[in-house]
Structures are given as C-alpha cells and as structure tokens.
C-alpha cells in the first residue's frame, strides 16, 4: 500500500552509488629547512586550540554558517548530536542544518534505527554504501557514508537543497527527472525536508513543517530515539 503524503518516512529505496577519490599536492622543502620549520610549528602551536568549525560560506548552497551551530527548531534528539553533526557536515562542506534535516527525518537521532528496506543508523544509509568491514551503526561511519552521498547529491542538484534531499532519498538520478515521475516516498521526502530546511536556514525557533511531520507520525520515531539516547521529556 502506498502511504499518503502526510505520512513521514524513515527509509529510502535502493539507489546507485559511486566512489570518488582525491589527492593533495604540495612543494618540496630541503630536509634541514623542513625539520626546523616543523619544530617551529610544534613549539608555536602547542598551546593553541583550533575551533572545530570556522565561520564560512558554503560554495554549493551559498549558505552562511556561523560556528556551524544548528537552528533551534530541531528536536532535542537532534540537538543531542549537535556537535557531531557540525563536525560531520564541516568535513564534507555541508551546512549542518541540512545534515540535521536529513537526520531529523531519517532517524530522529536514533543510532540503532533500521528501516524495512534495510537502511540503517542515524542517516539511514543503505548497505551497499558500506565496505564489508564497516559497522553501519557506528555514528562516525554512518555519517561518513551518508554525508558523502548528500554532498554528491547537492553537487548534482546545483546547490538546490530540496532537490538534493530528493536525491538522497530516491537516488541521485531522480534529480534530472520531472517531479511527477518521482516515487511517492521521494515526493514526501522533498516536501518534509525542503520545508524543514528552509526554516532552519533562517535559524528559526520553530518550523510549521517540522510540527506537521511530527504530528503525522514523526513523533513516534523521536520517541524511540529518546528511549535509545536516554533523554527525558
């Protein structure tokens, strides 16, 4: 039976994946100079602590993120992961609010969440995105694979967050198709996620779309997350 648009979703259909790699290149420094320079850096920075996230403008979305903080509208279960979400998003050049939107809809912060389609963890990542030796439920590993796919989806969408969310759910290939051809689940996903993220990007204190999602069934997902995280109401 096909769920109605008002029903939230925490699973996604099978989608294609790809791998990419990169490298850094630099210049060579004569060994003696390199040694002295390294000692200078070690002594000069030993007492300094670098912030995990600096204020920046993400090129893909044009969104200004100050200190990578999350909008206050997200539920307590998502705020529980705030520092982690900030770090994970920063590592992939993403707005933490976009990453938080995905986690909100996918698992509401439950690291043990598993869908009937086999998606697992905080970001409900499908099994084929992991290496055989990886633990799909480990938060860092789950975030690595989920954020990698979200970043690719955002790039393919030309920085359109709503389309990127659709690609995250239905596979990046849906981005180039007419929305009427999307699966019903993907249409709902873009509806929920697009509205929540639009409010979060404005640093809103609350979101009518998020409340709508919660009232349509998302609250039960968050209740399970609270129990798993030991958060009291």
Residues serving a catalytic function are 106
Whether 174 contacts 118, CB under 8 Å: no
End-to-end CA separation in angstroms for the chain: 34
Quick count: other Cβ atoms within 10 Å of Cβ 3?
Answer: 13
Judge whether 136 and 152 are in contact, CB under 8 Å: no
φ/ψ region of 230 (left if φ > 0, alpha if ψ in -120 to 50, else beta) reads: left
Q: How many CA atoms lie within 13 A of 170 on its CB side?
A: 23
Residue pair 130/25 in contact (Cβ under 8 Å)? The answer is no
Whole-angstrom distance, CA of residue 175 vs CA of residue 164: 7
Using the Cα atoms of residue 178, residue 191, residue 194 and residue 198 in order, give the sign of their dihedral: positive
């Amino acid at each position: 039976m096909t769920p109605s648009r008002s029903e939230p979703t925490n699973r996604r259909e099978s989608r294609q994946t790809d791998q990419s790699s990169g490298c850094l290149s630099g210049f060579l420094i004569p060994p003696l100079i390199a040694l002295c320079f390294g000692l200078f850096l070690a002594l000069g920075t030993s007492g300094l602590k670098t912030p995990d996230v600096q204020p920046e403008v993400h090129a893909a979305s044009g969104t200004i993120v100050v200190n990578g903080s999350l909008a206050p509208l997200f539920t307590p279960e998502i705020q529980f992961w705030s520092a982690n979400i900030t770090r994970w998003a920063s590592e992939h050049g993403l707005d933490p609010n976009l990453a938080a939107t995905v986690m909100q809809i996918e698992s509401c912060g439950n690291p043990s969440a598993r869908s009937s389609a086999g998606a697992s963890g905080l970001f409900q990542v499908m099994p084929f995105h992991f290496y055989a030796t990886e633990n799909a439920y480990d938060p860092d590993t789950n975030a690595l694979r989920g954020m990698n796919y979200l970043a690719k989806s955002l790039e393919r969408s030309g920085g359109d967050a709503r389309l990127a969310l659709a690609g995250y759910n239905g596979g990046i290939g849906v981005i180039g198709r007419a929305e009427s051809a999307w699966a019903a689940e993907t249409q709902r996903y873009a509806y929920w996620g697009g509205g929540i993220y639009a409010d979060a990007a404005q640093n809103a204190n609350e979101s009518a779309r998020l409340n709508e999602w919660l009232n349509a069934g998302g609250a039960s997902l968050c209740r399970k997350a609270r129990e798993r995280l030991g958060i009291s109401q």
